[in-house]
Amino acid sequence: MDDAARSVAVRVTGRVQGVSFRAWTKERAEVFGLDGWVRNETDGSVSACLSGPPDTVDRMLKEMRRGPSLAQVDTLDVQDAGPPAAGFSVLK
């Protein structure tokens, strides 16, 4: 990513585990060309790190507010973060 990239840490709450939220996030992030990762948390939330052009990160965040069809997103907490490694991963 270049100097104009935006990197964010995201925490998603609601019905976001057991509904393919991580796989969906990885697929959408790869379509958008974003770097980062996504993982389930023990409290039932999903965390992610996203990095890419600011407008593309904003588009991804808008999609994450809806999530995949079986998800119900209650909150999406977004904070600025340092850039992740290149590529996109699903973490355990």
Residue pair 43/37 in contact (Cβ under 8 Å)? The answer is no
Catalytic residue among 11, 39, 40, 59: 40
Catalytic residue among 22, 28, 59, 66: 22
Q: Tell me how far apart the alpha carbons of residues 31 and 45 are, in angstroms, rounded to a whole number.
A: 23
40 annotated active-site = yes
- Can you say whether the dihedral through the CA atoms of 45, 83, 85, 4 is positive or negative? positive
Q: What are the residue numbers of the active site?
A: 22, 40
